[in-house]
Chain A
Amino acid sequence: MTDIKKYITPFSVTGNEEKLAAIIAEDMKPCADSITADPMGNLICFKKGEDSSKRTMLAAHMDEIGFVVTFVENSGLIRVANVGGIRPVSSAFGEVVFKNGVKGVIVLEDNLQLADISIKKMLVDIGAKDKKDALKKVKIGDYLSLSQRVTRLANKRYAAKAFDDRIGCAVLVEAAKLATKVRYDTYYVFTVQEEVGCRGSKAAANVILPDYSVACDVTPTYDTAGAQPGEVKLGAGAAIKIKDTSVICSKTIVDRLTALAEDKKIKYQYEILTAGGTDASSMQTAGAGSYAGCISVPCRYVHSPVEIIDAKDLENCAKLFAAFIEEGV
């Protein structure tokens, strides 16, 4: 599997995906006939297929959730707004890094009760002496994210922030490398701004107008303490999405992925996600519509600094994608 760290280390808060885009562009070179970026920053890698009567779009999003500076107090403490679905409790007292490299920590207003923890009550302390000092280092509109730390756990499982969805990008690159042939004209699209409402994929899909499309994203598992009843488990294989709040996947794609997985003996499971959406929704409704689905990487504690994935799942996801690239629908 592609070096995981390489993909999950760069700063890529929504709207600032260019660093990761450059890394992916380099890695995709052998697998693409052309690589371009659109005005939003979506990275579009095109590979001509054996059958050019159909277009396939495969998408994984490059952006991660984070924060943006909105105000600097006289004390030099910094107010921020969330970019994407931040869980305030999991960010409090975490270490952060700004896009320009400045480091800081997230603190809370004093005397807060646990239930009152919210982004509005959070401040970033970068060690500045006062407002003037702080403004020398950061300015309004600067982006920041929690600091990255990758921990290898037992059973080839890893904990880190924002596997969502840089790990999906890694899976897609790996699949492009694994595929021994390409059935349809294929667009590997590494999208921007998914975390604020699948915006990048809308723009890209509206231009590509695919016939078939498959997203790669992470999906929460139901094997954690206090989870709602559900089927997806960590380590139980590639998750073929049936439905989430943004999309009911096309039966054509679900059935095809199932058949490919059975055929190639790739470990798979079905996913129904009751809160959250993915880029598959934008691809399904672009232009006159496409048959859309999603292969998800099972991931515990999504949108926390300790998201956990299982390397075996990654392999299964990549293999299933590769099979789809090779054989199509």
Chain B
Amino acid sequence: MERVFELAGLLTALPSVSGYEEAAFKGLEEICGDMFDEAFTNPAGSFVGIVRCGKPDAKALILDAHLDEIGFIVSQVHDDGFLSVVNAGGVDTRVLPASEVTIYGKKAIRGIFTSKPPHLQSPGEADKKLELKDIYIDTGMSGDELKKLVRIGDFAEIHSPLMRLKNNFAVSKSMDDKICIAQIIRAIELIDRDRLNIDIYCIFSGGEEIGGKGAATAAFAIDADWAVALDVCNCRMPEGRNYLENIKPGDGSVISYSSTTGRAVTTSLLSCAEDSGIKFQLRGEPGRTGTNAHYIQISRAGIPCTNLSVPLRYMHTGVEVISLEDVKTGAEIIARFAEKLGGDING
């Protein structure tokens, strides 16, 4: 659990807005580079680390978690020291006014999203939809000074570092999906290498929030026999959806059946968790999973792919809440599954 918390802190601190994941490659290498036999990066922002089992003609498993996080791209640098931005990925504008951001120009600088004071608002404005084009980032600098540091196309992200809550819950920006990178790293650490019969390709993929680009391209380069896409999922909360009522943080990672992924591999993962006595939750996701499983499943001639999720509250905000316990037990499921593939499970 402490290891997962430590990893979460290191990973959520990496700047990796969709389309700009290169900025995180060096940090990622430092955090987990040692555990891989080989590694490479690709043009779509993915970092791929390979764990070899050392056996001839070994089959291959992809473990995917996305490196990118939602964020902002500077679209205008105004003369008065304010910035206009557009979104990279699905930004929830409701949580932005008066929130903190970091802008990655020539150096990292602090900014605050503007919040229009009540006396400037027209009657009823608070009830209207808030659009990103109507709020600005205040950098506190003069326009001249700002233009030396920031240009159109530079990226910015929410500033909201990791914090521990009660009951081994934790909160941070970009738990979506750094917490699943932590889960993969932890799973690799837990694997008994002597029992491993397959090669594992860990894809820390770019561009998930903008259409699965990093996973699709990295999976194409690999051509695996199975894949598990790890991501976060919404769960029970006030005013939530009825079908999420029984999905709760702390009750384990979530295994999803979907009509868009591999049913047999999903059943294998589920049986593995049951046989190992590790707690998990089960979910039916009739259509698209909204994860990289969607893209990996149709890579090349098709790769049987399933989806394991960490339940998360308040997705796409700076206060994404998860249970460290779920990350830990999910990592155990992945470790046991990897050990069985190519042996007990071989279809």
Contacts and interface: CB of A to CB of B under 8 A. Distances in A.
B111 interface: no
B34 to A, nearest CB: 25
Given A248-B19, A248-B88, A285 B217 contact: yes
Interface string A250-261: 111010000000
Contacts of B213: 284-285, 289
A230 B78 CA distance: 11
A230 B43 contact: no
A236 interface: no
B43 A291 contact: yes
Interface string B135-157: 00000000000000001110000
A270 interface: yes
A288 interface: yes
A230 B76 contact: yes
B152 A270 contact: yes
Given A248-B18, A288-B217, A229 B84 contact: yes
A274 B84 CA distance: 13
A287 interface: yes
A137 to B, nearest CB: 44
Most chain B CB within 10 A, of A228, A251, A254, is at: A251
Contact of A242 (B22, B153, B220): B153
A311 interface: no
A270 B151 CA distance: 9
B224 interface: no
A274 B86 contact: yes
A248 B86 CA distance: 11
A254 B217 contact: no
B43 A250 contact: yes
Contacts of A251: 19-20, 22
Contact of B217 (A211, A243, A274, A289): A289
Interface string B246-289: 00000000000000000000000000000000000000000000
Interface residues of B, number: 27
Interface string A234-253: 00000000110000111110
A271 to B, nearest CB: 9
B75 interface: yes
A285 B292 CA distance: 14
B219 to A, nearest CB: 9
Contact of A270 (B84, B153, B216, B217): B153
Contacts, number: 70
Contacts of A272: 73, 75, 86, 152-153
B324 to A, nearest CB: 32
A290 interface: yes
B163 interface: no
B152 A289 contact: no
B73 A292 contact: no
A229 B76 contact: yes
B95 interface: no
Contacts of A291: 43
B20 A228 contact: no
A249 B42 CA distance: 14
Interface string B210-222: 1001101110110
B220 A228 contact: no
Interface in A184-240: 211, 228-231
A292 B86 contact: no
Contacts of A274: 86
A312 B207 CA distance: 35
B44 interface: yes
Interface string A141-184: 00000000000000000000000000000000000000000000
Interface of B: 18-20, 22, 42-44, 46, 73, 75-76, 84, 86, 88, 133, 151-153, 207, 210, 213-214, 216-218, 220-221
Q: 5 closest Cβ contacts across the A-B interface?
A: A248-B19, A289-B217, A288-B221, A289-B44, A242-B153
Given A242-B75, A242-B152, A248-B210, 14 more contacts: A229-B84, A230-B76, A243-B73, A243-B86, A248-B18, A270-B151, A272-B153, A284-B213, A285-B44, A285-B213, A285-B216, A287-B217, A287-B221, A289-B42
24 contacts: A229-B76, A230-B76, A231-B75, A243-B153, A248-B73, A248-B207, A249-B19, A250-B43, A251-B20, A251-B22, A254-B153, A270-B152, A272-B73, A272-B153, A284-B44, A285-B44, A285-B213, A285-B216, A287-B220, A288-B42, A289-B213, A289-B214, A289-B218, A291-B43
